[in-house]
Structure 1
Amino acid sequence: MSHLIGEFDCKLDAKGRLMVPSGLKKQLPAADAEGLVINRGFEKHLVVYSKAEWDKVTAELAQLNQYEEKNRKFIRYFTRGATELSLDASGRVLLPKSLLEYAGIGAEVVLSCQFNKIEVWAKDAYDAQLDDEPENFSSLAEEVMGKGRRIDG
């Protein structure tokens, strides 16, 4: 799968359904047949994976030693609330109410593509996070990416 790209402002309908934007649907050709998987993110947001990507993630989790308590806890917290999503005939997915409540998501959401996944944020939380951008983003880039790597930009 190639990396997903884009940021989409969307609205949920009264039933909690999300219309998958056409620009995103084009990047997820197997979504109609295979579906998607949604779960909790590390911050107060949700994460959507294609079914194939979710299978890769869970295969990686299955390699962890489950006799170690920290591994069991991580697996439990990471997969908590994971739910398969199916697109209806109109290209909508019904987001689970419990996950929407966890992430504080109301009617307005932002879908932010991050490589192999899509983050789903309450619009106000997403905007607040971006308002907290470091004053010197280039210093952060150097700290995270500059460890002997050569990237032109």
Structure 2
Amino acid sequence: MSYLTGEFECKLDAKGRMMIPAGLKKQLPEAETEALVINRGLEKYLVIYTKKEWDKKLDELSKLNEYDRKSIQFVRYFTGGATTLVPDSAGRVLLPKNLQEYAGIGNDVVLTCMLNKIEVWDKKAHAEMVNNEPENFAELAEEVMGNKVRRMYE
């Protein structure tokens, strides 16, 4: 599996359309034939998945107990607002107005590749998030990854 990389600044036009940057488009060859899916993120940003990755998420969700209230609530909020994005002939995608409003997205956005998905941030909100990086990133890395990374000398 190959992962997405990069960070890209984009502008939305007056209709809410965004041109997919060339560097990102090269990493998403299936986007023109299979489309993309955009949805709310877990915080105030949006997430774009390839159709293949979105289907994997739906497969995970389909395994949850459909009679458990927390599972129902999670599925409802996770999938609510999900929209298929199909690039037009100029390579632009239309970001749904309701999702733009949810994430507080203005005309300037930042696309941040996160392994198998793309986060879509309002440029100012993205700058705030970056500026709130933990003071000691090494501690966070140790806490999150410490038990997952093979030791060099084992």
> Are 2:37 and 1:45 aligned?
no
Deviation at 1:134, TM superposition (A): 1.0
Deviation at 1:151, TM superposition (A): 6.0
Amino acid corresponding to residue 73 of structure 2 in structure 1: K
Deviation at 1:149, TM superposition (A): 2.6
**In structure 2, C-alpha distance between the alignment counterparts of 1:61 and 1:29, rounded to whole Å:** 26
> Are 2:19 and 1:3 aligned?
no
Give the structure 2 partner of residue 121 of structure 1: 121
Q: Deviations over 1:40-83 (max 9, x none)?
A: 00000000000111011101100111110000000000001000
**In structure 2, C-alpha distance between the alignment counterparts of 1:132 and 1:87, rounded to whole Å:** 33
Identity %: 63
**In structure 2, C-alpha distance between the alignment counterparts of 1:147 and 1:28, rounded to whole Å:** 32
Q: Give TM-score scaled by structure 1 length.
A: 0.96
**In structure 2, C-alpha distance between the alignment counterparts of 1:149 and 1:61, rounded to whole Å:** 28
- TM-align CA RMSD: 1.1
> Are 2:80 and 1:80 aligned?
yes
SS class of match (2:64): coil
Give the structure 2 partner of residue 137 of structure 1: 137
Amino acid corresponding to residue 64 of structure 1 in structure 2: L
Q: Deviations over 1:94-133 (max 9, x none)?
A: 0000000000000000000001100000000010011011
**In structure 2, C-alpha distance between the alignment counterparts of 1:149 and 1:50, rounded to whole Å:** 28
Deviating above 6 A after TM superposition, structure 1's stretches of 4 or more consecutive aligned residues are: none
**In structure 1, C-alpha distance between the alignment counterparts of 2:75 and 2:69, rounded to whole Å:** 10
Give the structure 1 partner of residue 55 of structure 2: 55
**In structure 2, C-alpha distance between the alignment counterparts of 1:89 and 1:65, rounded to whole Å:** 41
**In structure 2, C-alpha distance between the alignment counterparts of 1:72 and 1:56, rounded to whole Å:** 18
Aligned length: 152
CA 1:37/1:136 → structure 2, altered by over 3 Å: closer, same or farther? same
Unaligned residue ranges in structure 2 (runs of 5+): none
Unaligned residue ranges in structure 1 (runs of 5+): none
Q: Give TM-score scaled by structure 2 length.
A: 0.96
Deviation at 1:148, TM superposition (A): 5.6
